């Protein structure tokens, strides 16, 4: 433990954002209490408070790196639990615009874990910290104020209706996209944040199968991404217990059905036909279940000029991304590192400074997901010149990545939030994209990936 800032910090929410927040707070507060409306200790499966936990999840490469820093040896623990892991760009089979991207060895790890399994491992690590305890199942009723705009704790209620006042030097709202912080701010006389909203009307429908054939080969997952020509998508990962999970995605109201026949019919329309062939005669292990996501929402806390002392908001409560991009957990991890840096100064974190510090970290993933969604004509939101030009370029980049593994690698380094988007605009990368986004006959030369193979004989299948 470093320099103590206060006696007790309270974290609202025991999801990934809350767990990571508790981890960094444990270095600066004598005790950290995590409050959640669900019973979480010892829970191994999906729970009520995290409905998206029943569906395919992704921890991007940058998030994996941060988790390894906060919890050394976590990757080994996951491997010991038979959780598959491999290269994000080389060991997952990606389809964009109906075409398979050329595999690349990026050095970026992807862990093929369900959300409950990953959360269990992280929660076990957090629970082992002597400073951390859990208070569940308790619902949060509101914030407690001590005058002069300071939060001094929370009011919580148990399942039996018992009301309890929980004192705190710092309260952090990590309750997710359903965060009530804007309402609480109004009640306390503070202005709520402005919101940016991208309406996508998305739904996931997921079912687990025991396959009687192997569609993967050496790959960990098969992922056909929604496109303009086919706005239906899917994620089909191997799981740690030998089963497979198929999460179908449909936006703008084209939701995957929950009846078995409709589920299979929807799967048959995906850009990766091997998925339907694998599941049509497989053994279902459960019934299809749906999760709906109406809109991506970014709350502009960084634009506020006044905010209660002793209170922060983190994770999806600040920005809730379209889940198909897999950004939520990684952005929460990035925000936790910012909080850790501020706590290292030895003083109570300032909310406005925190929000302004995390805003640039949110900008890139928000531009990626919101901009990508605005490529679909039915999605509501402002289509700036930046968005239109970005989508035009990304269309060419995805075509180029079907031929050139170096384009695939560069794309996933940006999508994995390891490199900034500007990395895709380097002159050498733009040249690769332009050369490889045209038919080979039109360029007068081989695609770059084939040139490299002819010249070096070392990258033909990367």
**What confidence category does residue 440 fall into, taking pLDDT thresholds of 50, 70 and 90?**
low
The answer on pLDDT for 446 being more than 70 is no
Q: Which of 210, 54, 208 is nearest to 119 (CA)?
A: 54
Residue 454: per-residue pLDDT: 30
Residue 141: per-residue pLDDT: 94
The answer on pLDDT for 283 being more than 80 is yes
The residue ranges of every structural domain in the chain are 6-59+113-194+300-358, 199-294
The answer on pLDDT for 64 being more than 80 is yes
What average pLDDT does the segment 276-301 reach? 96
Per DSSP, the three-state class of 238 is strand
Higher-pLDDT residue of 260, 114? 260
Mean pLDDT of the chain: 91
Residue 41: per-residue pLDDT: 78
Residue 57: per-residue pLDDT: 82
CATH number of the structural domain 6-59+113-194+300-358 = 3.50.50.60
**Which tens digits make up the pLDDT trace of 172-213?**
999 999 999 999 999 999 999 999 999 999 999 999 999 999
**Which tens digits make up the pLDDT trace of 362-391?**
999 999 999 999 999 999 888 899 999 999
List the beta bridge partners of residue 90: none
Q: Are 210 and 285 in contact (CB under 8 A)?
A: yes
List the beta bridge partners of residue 32: 9, 132
The CA-atom distances, in angstroms, between 213 and each of 244, 273, 280, 282 are 11, 14, 11, 8
Rg over CA atoms, the chain: 23
**What confidence category does residue 453 fall into, taking pLDDT thresholds of 50, 70 and 90?**
very low
Query: Which H helix or E strand runs over 32?
Result: strand 29-35
With pLDDT > 70 as the criterion, what percentage of the chain qualifies?
A: 94
With pLDDT > 90 as the criterion, what percentage of the chain qualifies?
A: 80
* Residue 60: other Cβ atoms inside 10 A: 26
Pick the CATH number of 199-294 from 3.30.70, 2.60.120, 3.40.50, 3.90.105: 3.30.70
For residues 90 and 461, give the distance between their C-alpha atoms in angstroms, rounded to a whole number.
10
The answer on pLDDT for 458 being more than 90 is no
For residues 44 and 121, give the distance between their C-alpha atoms in angstroms, rounded to a whole number.
9
Q: Are 25 and 9 in contact (CB under 8 A)?
A: yes
For residues 388 and 406, give the distance between their C-alpha atoms in angstroms, rounded to a whole number.
24
**What confidence category does residue 290 fall into, taking pLDDT thresholds of 50, 70 and 90?**
very high
Highest mean pLDDT among 43-57, 108-122, 399-413: 399-413
């Amino acid at each position: 433990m470093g320099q103590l800032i206060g006696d007790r910090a309270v974290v609202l929410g025991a999801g990934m954002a809350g767990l990571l927040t508790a981890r960094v707070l444990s270095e600066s507060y004598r005790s950290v209490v995590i409050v959640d409306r669900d019973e979480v200790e010892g829970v191994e499966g999906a729970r009520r408070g995290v409905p998206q936990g029943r569906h395919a999840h992704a921890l991007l490469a940058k998030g994996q790196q941060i988790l390894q820093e906060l919890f050394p040896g976590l990757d080994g623990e996951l491997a010991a639990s038979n959780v598959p892991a491999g290269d994000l760009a080389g060991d997952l089979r990606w389809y964009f615009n109906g075409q398979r991207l050329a595999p690349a060895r990026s050095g970026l790890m992807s862990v093929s874990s369900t959300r409950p399994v990953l959360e269990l491992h992280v929660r076990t690590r957090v629970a082992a910290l002597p400073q951390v305890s859990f208070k569940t199942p308790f619902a949060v009723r509101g914030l407690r104020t001590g005058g002069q705009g300071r939060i001094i704790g929370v009011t919580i209620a148990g399942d039996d209706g018992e009301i309890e006042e929980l004192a705190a030097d710092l309260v952090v709202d990590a309750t997710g996209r359903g965060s009530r912080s804007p309402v609480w701010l109004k009640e306390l006389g503070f202005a709520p944040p402005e919101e940016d909203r991208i309406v996508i009307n998305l739904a996931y429908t997921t079912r687990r199968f025991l396959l009687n054939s192997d569609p993967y080969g050496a790959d960990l997952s098969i992922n056909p991404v929604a496109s303009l020509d086919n706005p239906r998508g899917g994620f089909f990962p191997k799981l740690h217990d030998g089963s497979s999970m198929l999460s179908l995605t449909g936006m703008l109201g084209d939701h995957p059905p929950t009846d078995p026949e409709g589920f299979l019919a929807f799967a048959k329309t995906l850009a990766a036909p091997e998925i339907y062939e694998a599941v049509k005669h497989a053994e279902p292990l459960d019934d299809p279940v749906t999760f709906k996501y109406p809109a991506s929402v970014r709350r502009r806390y960084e634009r506020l000029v006044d905010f209660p002392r002793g209170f922060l908001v983190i994770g999806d409560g600040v920005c809730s991304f379209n889940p198909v991009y897999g950004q939520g957990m990684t952005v929460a991890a990035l925000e936790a590192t910012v909080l850790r840096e501020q706590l290292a100064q030895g003083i109570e974190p300032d909310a406005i400074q925190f929000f302004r510090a995390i805003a640039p970290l949110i900008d890139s993933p928000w531009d990626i997901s919101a901009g990508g969604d605005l490529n679909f004509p039915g999605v509501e939101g402002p289509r700036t010149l930046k968005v239109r030009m970005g989508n035009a370029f990304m269309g060419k980049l995805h075509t180029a990545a079907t031929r050139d593994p170096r384009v695939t690698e560069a794309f996933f380094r940006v999508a994995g939030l390891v490199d900034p988007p500007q990395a895709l605009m380097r002159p050498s990368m733009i040249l690769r994209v332009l050369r490889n986004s045209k038919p080979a006959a039109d360029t007068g030369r081989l695609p770059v990936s084939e040139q490299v193979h002819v010249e070096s004989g070392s990258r033909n299948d990367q």
